Structure 1
Amino acid sequence: MNALTHLSPAELDRLARKRAGAKMGWYIHALVFVLVNAGLAALSALQGQHWAVFPTMGWGLGLAVHGVVVYLSLQNFSLFHTLLQRERQRLETLRDPW
């Protein structure tokens, strides 16, 4: 049974907005990364140097970490609700859980 079947329409809407917001935040971060680093690369090339690789690598690491956090947070929702559902089922079978 899917953990999402127990959510009300309002809870589903709130969850969908939260997940879409997390994804959109990463997309915006990636777009700004590409635009700014393209500008830095152009500026570096005009100067005949290659310094733009350093901010690109640092920021790229930050972008990758941001992406991993977003991905894991979306995956962990499913794990969390699966564990929550199991605990509810266990508690329902007990008369006095404490």
Structure 2
Amino acid sequence: MNTPLSSQEIDKLARRRAGAKLGWYMHAAVFVLVNLVLLGLSARGFGTRPWSMYPLLGWGLGLTLHGLAVFLLGAGGGLREHLVQQERERLQRQQGRP
């Protein structure tokens, strides 16, 4: 029951999904690099406790939520499209359309 997409719509959707995924990959790369530096500083004795775990956990939560938004709920996953299709069908039934 999906209406076919034009080639321009497919290209636009593909670019948006690829951009969202690339944004997450960049976020993950910066996360790894920065936290390796912080872990090194913490291990070298800059501080009395292993303080580098606090930014790692906080930023890790943010990275996880970003990944969920991109790959599961957002432009990179199918769940959003499935929910939109269900809602579209429900609204069409309410309007008396097949």
Please report how far the alpha carbon of residue 88 of structure 1 lies from its aligned counterpart in structure 2 after TM superposition: 5.2
Q: TM-score, normalised by structure 2?
A: 0.78
**Runs of 4+ residues over 6 Å off in structure 1:** none
Aligned-pair identity in percent equals 47
Unaligned runs of 5+ in 2: none
Unaligned runs of 5+ in 1: 94-98
Distance 1:69 1:38, change over 3 A: same
- Superposed CA RMSD: 2.1
Q: TM-score, normalised by structure 1?
A: 0.78
Q: Which has the higher contact order (CA 8 A, sep 6+)?
A: 1
Match of 1:77 in 2: 81
SS in 1 for 2:51: coil
Q: 2:23 aligned with 1:22, yes or no?
A: no
**What does residue range 1-98 of structure 1 map to in structure 2 within 5 Å?**
1=1, 3=2, 6-47=4-45, 49-70=49-70, 71-73=72-74, 74=77, 75-84=79-88, 87=91, 92-93=97-98
Matched positions, count: 91
Which structure has greater helix proportion? 1
The residue identity in structure 2 corresponding to 1:53 is: M
Cα offsets for 1:46-91 (capped at 9, x unmatched): 1164110000000001001111111211220233135435655875
The structure number with the bigger radius of gyration is: 1
1:18 and 1:24 map into 2 onto residues whose CA distance is 10
